[in-house]
Amino acid sequence: MPRVLTVDARQPDARNVAEAVRVLRGGGLVAFPTETVYGLGARAFEPDAVRRVFAAKGRPRHHPLIVHVTAEDGGRALASVWPEAASIFARALWPGPLTLVVDRKGTVPSVVAGGGPSIAVRAPAHPVALALIDALGEPIAAPSANRYQQLSPTTAAHVVKQLGGAVDLVLDGGPCEAGIESTVVDVRRWPPVVLRPGAVSIAALRALVPDVVRGSYSVSGDDERAAPGMDARHYAPRARLTLALTDDVWSLALAATRAGTRVGLVVRNALAPEDAPPGVLVRRLSSEATTYARHLYETLHELDDAGVETIVAERVPATDAWVAVADRLERAAASGTQS
C-alpha cells in the first residue's frame, strides 16, 4: 500500500509537499489531486519514472500523457510552436481544466508523448497540484491515477483501491471539484479541434475562439485527428453498464433483477424513485450537468464497491452542457475492449 499524506486543499502543508518532491526526485510516483481527477505524477524529464507510470496503469506505451505546468510560459517551454490560439486559451482559462495539444519540443522525452510528435500540456487549478509543480521546479507528467480503461479517481481512496503499492505516495486533498477530466483541444492547426470533451464547455472555448470545432470523439468514431488514447471502452466500472432512455430505466432494472443480477441504477433527480424495483440500489444525481459530473465517478465507484453486477444509467440530454458526461457514459458502456 502507498503512503498517504493528508494535505489541506486550500493551503497545502509545505512539509508534505516537500516530501512529495523528494519522492519525485528519487524517480518515484506521486498521486495528487487536481480540480478534475487525481493524477499519477512523475518527473516529465525522467524517462524511467515516466515508464513506471505506464507500468503502474497498465497503459499501452503509445498513449500519450499530459504534462502539467503552473502557467503559460511553462507550456510554451515544452512546445516547438506556440500558436496564437494556445495563448488565447491559456491566458483566459489557465490554471484550469483545459489541455492543449501542441507540437513537442525535441527536448521533451518522446516516451511522455507516447512516441508522437505532439505534447499535451495543462496548468491545473488546484493549490496542491500547483504547489507540487512549483516546489519541484519542473513539469509533471500525469495521467489520471487509475488502471487502464477503468474508472478515474476523484478521491485518494479511489487511487489506493486501484493502484495500491504501484504508487509510492498519495497526497490526499479531498474530493475533486469538477469530477470529470479536462477538455483536450488540439491547437496545432486551424481551426482548433476538441479531441476530448471535458470540464471546460465548448461554449466557453467558442466565446474565446468562435471557430473551435468538435472532433469526432463519438465512441464509434475513428478520425485521423481523434486523440490517441481515446479507446471506445474507457472510464469503465467493473459492473456492466447499460444506458437507458428515461422511460425504460425501471423496466430494464426490473428485468436484470429478475434475471438474478445485483443491479444499481443511476438516474437524474427529475426521475421519480417510487417505481424502483425492490433490491435495486438507486443513486440519484443532479439534473444539472456540472453537479452531475462532480459525482459521477464517485457514484460508479460506490456501486462497484457495493458488488453491483449491472448498472443501468439513465441517458442524459443531448445538449452541449452534457457533452462530456454523455461521452464518459458511452465509453463506460462500450463493451468492446481494445488494447
- Using CB under 6 A, which of 195, 239, 252, 313 touches ligand TXA? 195
Q: Shortest gap between Cβ of 267 and ligand TXA (angstroms)? A: 26
* Contact partner, 75, from Mg ion, ligand TXA, none, Cβ < 5-8 Å per class: none
* Contact partner, 142, from Mg ion, ligand TXA, none, Cβ < 5-8 Å per class: ligand TXA
Which is nearer to ligand TXA, 142 or 163 (by Cβ)?
142
Q: Does residue 182 bind Mg ion (CB under 5 A)?
A: no
What are the helix (H) ranges across the chain?
14-25, 47-57, 72-76, 84-93, 127-136, 156-163, 202-208, 249-258, 289-305, 323-333
Which is nearer to Mg ion, 34 or 144 (by Cβ)?
144
Cell, residue 29 = 510516483
Tally DSSP H helices, then E strands, for the chain. 10, 16
Which is nearer to ligand TXA, 19 or 103 (by Cβ)?
103
Which is nearer to ligand TXA, 125 or 303 (by Cβ)?
125
Residue nearest to Mg ion (CB): 144
Cell numbers 507516447 label which residue?
A: 114
Q: Does residue 229 bind ligand TXA (CB under 6 A)?
A: yes
Q: Give the whole-angstrom CA distance, residue 54 versus residue 285.
A: 33
Cis peptide before 95 (omega within 30 of 0): yes
Question: Are the beta carbons of 178 and 103 closer than 8 angstroms?
Answer: no
Q: Shortest gap between Cβ of 5 and ligand TXA (angstroms)? A: 18
242's enclosing H/E stretch is: strand 240-244
Hey, what's the torsion of the CAs at 136, 142, 145, 149, to 10 degrees?
-170
Q: Does residue 69 bind ligand TXA (CB under 6 A)?
A: no
Q: Give the whole-angstrom CA distance, residue 163 versus residue 297.
A: 16
Q: Does residue 46 bind ligand TXA (CB under 6 A)?
A: no
Q: Does residue 185 bind ligand TXA (CB under 6 A)?
A: no
Here's the x/- map for Mg ion, 129-168, by CB under 5 A: it reads as: ---------------x------------------------
Q: Shortest gap between Cβ of 151 and ligand TXA (angstroms)? A: 11
Binding site for Mg ion (CB under 5 A): 144
